[in-house]
Structure 1
Amino acid sequence: MKSYLAAAIQMTSQPNLQKNLAEAEELIELAVRRGAELIGLPENFAFLGKEEEKLKEAKVVNEKSQKFLKTMAQRFQITILGGGFPVPVEGDSTKAYNTAILVDSSGTEVARYQKVHLFDVDVPDGNTYRESSTVMAGQNLPNIYPSEQFGNLGISICYDVRFPEIYRHLSHQGADVLFIPAAFTAFTGKDHWKVLLQARAIENTCYVIAPAQTGNHYERRYTHGHACIVDPWGTILADAGQEEGMVIAEIDPFRIQQVRRQMPSLQHRVFI
C-alpha cells in the first residue's frame, strides 16, 4: 500500500435534500482536484432537520443518497463514505436506521454500518436530543473493509466515539484507518471532540478521518465543526475550523508501522 491523500468534508446541511447534495458534490469535486482519493462525508450530509421531518423524508433521502454516492464514486474514481443517512426500517414506519456506507470507485457498496449508539441526551445548553425516538439502533458491530489501496478501513458514526470498545473491536480486526463522521453538538464539541478523536487514534494506533457538520442547521440546532484528520500518534494533521469546506492529509502506511513499533500497545493487550 502506498501513501495517498484523504479528505474529510465539512458541511452545514439543512432540511433541504437537493441543496445539500449539490453542495456535497462541489466539495467532493474540490477535494478530488486537490488529489484526494478517499473522501468522507459527515453524518446527516444529505438531510439535517427535525427528527420527525427526517423520518417523513427517509425513503427519498435514502434512495437519493445511495444513488448520489455511487455516482460520485464512479464519476471521480474515488472511494467515498456517506457518513450517515436514514434508511427506513422494514415493517416499522416510525423508525429508520442511521446508516453509513462505503462505496468504491466502481460504484459498488463495499461496507455498511447501522449506528449502534443513539444520542439520547439532555445537553446543558438547554437542548434535548432523543435520537432513539425515530432511529432504530443497529445490532451489529462494524467490520473492517480490507482495501489494497487504502488499508483496512473501519466505520463508526458520531456518538460512537464515546465508546472505545467499538474501536478496539475494529483494531482487533486490523484497522488502519477509522472513519468517525459526525454532527457533534456545539456545546459538547468544544470540550470533547478533538480529545476523543485523538484518544481513538492513539489507543488504536490508527489514522482517524472525521468529517463533520458545522454551524446553524435549523432553529437552535448548532454543530461544532472542526472536521479533522488525526495521525496514529494523535497529532492533528488538519482541522477545518468552523467554516464549510474540507481538510486533506496524507495517509502514510509507513507512519502506522513506525508508531506501532514505537508504541506496541496493541501487542500488549491482556483483555480482548
Structure 2
Amino acid sequence: MAEPEWESLEQCLEKHLPPADLREVKRLLYGKETRKLDLPSRALESAAEGDFELQGYAFEAAEEQLRGPRTVRVGLVQNRIPLPAEAPVAKQVSALHRRIEAIVEVAAMCGVNIICFQEAWTMPFAFCTREKLPWTEFAESAEDGPTTRFCQKLAKKHNMVVVSPILERDGEHGDVLWNTAVVISNSGAILGKTRKNHIPRVGDFNESTYYMEGNLGHPVFQTQFGRIAVNICYGRHHPLNWFMYSVNGADIIFNPSATIGALSESMWPIEARNAAIANHCFTCAINRVGKEYFPHEFTSGDGKK
C-alpha cells in the first residue's frame, strides 16, 4: 500500500516507541493483543522462496469448563499480479493460478481451514480504466470456469474451504458480468456464490461500466469450519450490509477488496473492525498489494489526468 521505504505502521511504531509505550499504543489502536503464532519452519522457508510474506496470529478466547475449544484457522491472501497488465489474458490468469497454488500450499502447511483471496484475484484491477477490452475477457463462469475448477482441486487436495472472488460471466442471462465470490467446500463441491451488492459511483469512477449490483441478497454458507459470508469490497462502507450477513448467521465475514492506499488505507481496516464489534462476529479485511500499470494513461471525464 505505502511506498517501499515506509514498510508499515507497525514497523514505524516499533522503531520509534519504547516497549511499554508501544504496548499501550497498540492496545488503543487494536484492542486486546493477539498472540503471534510460531509457524512451521518449512512454511516460512517456502514463503521466502516464493517471495511473499507469511504471518500468523491467534485470537484468544476464554476457556469453558464443559466444552473444548473450537479452533478455526483462516488464511487471508493479499497478492500482487506477477505479469504486466498488458500481457496476454491467458498468460496472466495462468501465472496467477501458479502463484496462488504456491501460496495455498504454504497455507496448508500452517493448517489453514478456510482461505480467501482478494477481489477479482485472477486479473489486474482494471475497472478504473473504463475500457471494455481486454478486461472483460478475464470474466468466466462461476460454476465451471477454469478458475473455479482450479480452486476445487486445491480445496479437495488440502481439505480447505476456498473463497474465490472473480469477475463472473453469466452465460445463462446473456453474458451479463458480475463481481462474484465463489465458495467451495473442503470436499471440492461448490457451495454457492455471492455477488457484490454495492458498487462505487464516485465522480467519473463508475464500476457499473462492467457490472451492476448483485441480485443474490446476503447469503451465508455452512461449512465444516463455521458459517461464512463474503461482503465484497465497496459493501464495507455500508453498516447494514455487514448487519444482514450477521443476521443471516455468519460467524466469519470476509471482505475481499481492491482499493488504493491514498483513497482507502485509513478506512478499510477500521470499517471491518467496527463491523466485527457491532455484529459480534469475526471479520476479515483483505486488499491487494503492489503497483499496477496500465497501457493507457488514466484520464477523468473532463480529459484531465
TM-score normalised by structure 1 residue count: 0.72
Partner secondary structure for residue 47 of structure 1? coil
Pairing 1:182-193 to 2, within 5 Å after superposition: 182-193=257-268
Residue in 2 that maps onto 1:65: 147
Partner secondary structure for residue 161 of structure 1? helix
Partner secondary structure for residue 29 of structure 1? helix
Pairing 1:1-272 to 2, within 5 Å after superposition: 2-13=70-81, 15=85, 16-51=92-127, 52=132, 53-59=134-140, 63-88=145-170, 90-93=172-175, 95-122=176-203, 128-147=204-223, 149-219=224-294
- Letter of the 1:83 counterpart: P
How far did residue 129 of structure 1 move?
Answer: 2.7
Of 11-20 and 157-166, the range deviating more from structure 2: 11-20
How far did residue 60 of structure 1 move?
Answer: 7.5
- Letter of the 1:77 counterpart: N
Decide whether aligned partners of structure 1 residues 29 and 163 sit closer, same or farther in structure 2, where only a CA change above 3 A counts. Answer: same
Q: How far apart are the structure 2 equivalents of 1:84 and 1:197?
A: 21
- Letter of the 1:207 counterpart: F
Q: How far apart are the structure 2 equivalents of 1:80 and 1:34?
A: 15
How far did residue 49 of structure 1 move?
Answer: 4.7
Q: Deviations over 1:111-164 (max 9, x none)?
A: 310111112224xxxxx53210011321232221123x3222111101110111
Partner secondary structure for residue 4 of structure 1? coil
Partner secondary structure for residue 46 of structure 1? coil
- Letter of the 1:136 counterpart: M
Q: How far apart are the structure 2 equivalents of 1:110 and 1:194?
A: 28
Point out 4+ residue stretches in structure 1 off by more than 6 angstroms: none
Q: How far apart are the structure 2 equivalents of 1:85 and 1:174?
A: 26
**Which has more strand, going by share of residues?**
1
Residue in 2 that maps onto 1:238: none
How far did residue 70 of structure 1 move?
Answer: 0.6
Q: How far apart are the structure 2 equivalents of 1:105 and 1:190?
A: 32
Q: How far apart are the structure 1 equivalents of 2:200 and 2:174?
A: 20
- Letter of the 2:163 counterpart: L
Residue in 2 that maps onto 1:243: none
Decide whether aligned partners of structure 1 residues 216 and 89 sit closer, same or farther in structure 2, where only a CA change above 3 A counts. Answer: farther
Partner secondary structure for residue 266 of structure 2? helix
Matched-pair contact (CA < 8 Å) for 1:84–1:181:
no
Of 56-65 and 185-194, the range deviating more from structure 2: 56-65
Q: How far apart are the structure 2 equivalents of 1:195 and 1:112?
A: 26
Residue in 2 that maps onto 1:264: none
Matched-pair contact (CA < 8 Å) for 2:115–2:161:
yes
> Aligned residue pairs: how many?
214
Matched-pair contact (CA < 8 Å) for 1:97–1:138:
yes
Matched-pair contact (CA < 8 Å) for 1:49–1:218:
no
Root mean square deviation of aligned Cα: 2.2
TM-score normalised by structure 2 residue count: 0.65
- Letter of the 1:79 counterpart: V
- Letter of the 2:169 counterpart: V
Of 161-170 and 113-122, the range deviating more from structure 2: 113-122
Q: How far apart are the structure 1 equivalents of 2:191 and 2:271?
A: 27
Any stretches of 5+ residues in structure 1 without a counterpart?
Answer: 123-127, 222-272
Any stretches of 5+ residues in structure 2 without a counterpart?
Answer: 1-68, 86-91, 299-305
Q: How far apart are the structure 1 equivalents of 2:286 and 2:104?
A: 12
Partner secondary structure for residue 81 of structure 1? strand
State the percentage of identical aligned residues.
21
Matched-pair contact (CA < 8 Å) for 1:43–1:181:
yes
How far did residue 217 of structure 1 move?
Answer: 2.1
Decide whether aligned partners of structure 1 residues 189 and 115 sit closer, same or farther in structure 2, where only a CA change above 3 A counts. Answer: same
Q: How far apart are the structure 2 equivalents of 1:57 and 1:172?
A: 34
